[in-house]
Amino acid sequence: MMADTKLRETICQLAKSLFDRGLTHGSTGNISARTDDGGLLVTPTNASFGFLDPARLSRFDATGRHISGDSPTKEMPLHTAFYDTRTKTGAVVHLHSCHAVALSLCDDNDPDNFLPPLTPYGIMKLGKVALLPFFLPGDAAMGEAVRGLAGKRSAVMLASHGPVVAGRDVEAACYAIEELEDTARLALLTKGMNITPLNPEQISAIVTKFDVDWDS
């Protein structure tokens, strides 16, 4: 894992990149990442991804105690649910990205497999994305819903709210959530068209070659 100072800088750089490209807006979105000592660095509540200060990130120790920095995002139960149920999680990213939210509003989604199989990378980086129902922002029930998946999903979509992705490190989590948004955009662009999604044999080949956790 990265040293604390470098990790702080990386979180803020990636957050600004997401903000600058319109993948989240205003003071929406949050990122957490595991530190070398088993603690967490977390983006503060009511903070814009475009203007984060590395020194003001919320710092938690290995016991989950807030020890320095600004107050953390109100979505901490959501983040900790991934760390507690997926042992290889090194970072969690949550956005309010427009196309993913728009797709969640459609009435023909599969709750067990939110994204249609349109590209290899959507499968490789995300596996199956679970669509969770609407919760009030900050509701601890979101964390309980993630725990109910028993670690079987690295990505979820909160209906009418936004995607959440866990990754081995902060870069991987950010890249994966970008793939989720882009796949959702493709799904909306092609909705109602006579498209040819990946077939079961193609999906199976991708899952096998890239060791994707797909069937659970």
Q: Is the pLDDT of residue 216 over 80?
A: no
Over residues 4-15, the mean pLDDT reads 97
pLDDT band (50, 70, 90) for residue 1? low
pLDDT for 162? 98
| Each residue's pLDDT tens digit, 59-116 | 999 999 999 999 999 999 999 999 999 999 999 999 999 999 999 999 999 999 999 9
CA–centroid distance for 131 within its chain: 12
| Residue 56 pLDDT greater than 80, yes or no | yes
Alpha-carbon gap, residue 133 to 157, rounded angstroms: 9
Across the chain, mean pLDDT equals: 96
Kindly give the pairing relationship between strand 155-158 and strand 30-34. Answer: unpaired
Amino acid at 4: D
In which residue are the tokens 């980086």 written?
A: 125
Show the tokens assigned to 2: 């990265």
Eight-class DSSP state of 57 = S
Is the CATH number 3.40.225.10 carried by domain 4-209?
A: yes
Residues with Cβ within 8 Å of residue 187, at least 6 apart in sequence: 103, 115, 116, 118
At 204, is the secondary structure helix, strand, or coil?
A: helix
Give this prediction's pTM: 0.96
| Catalytic residue ranges | 121
Q: How confident is the model at residue 215 (pLDDT cuts 50, 70, 90)?
A: confident
pLDDT, tens only, 103-124:
999 999 999 999 999 999 999 9
The first and second tokens of residue 127, run together, are: 């596996």
Instruction: Identify the H or E element spanning 121.
Output: helix 120-126
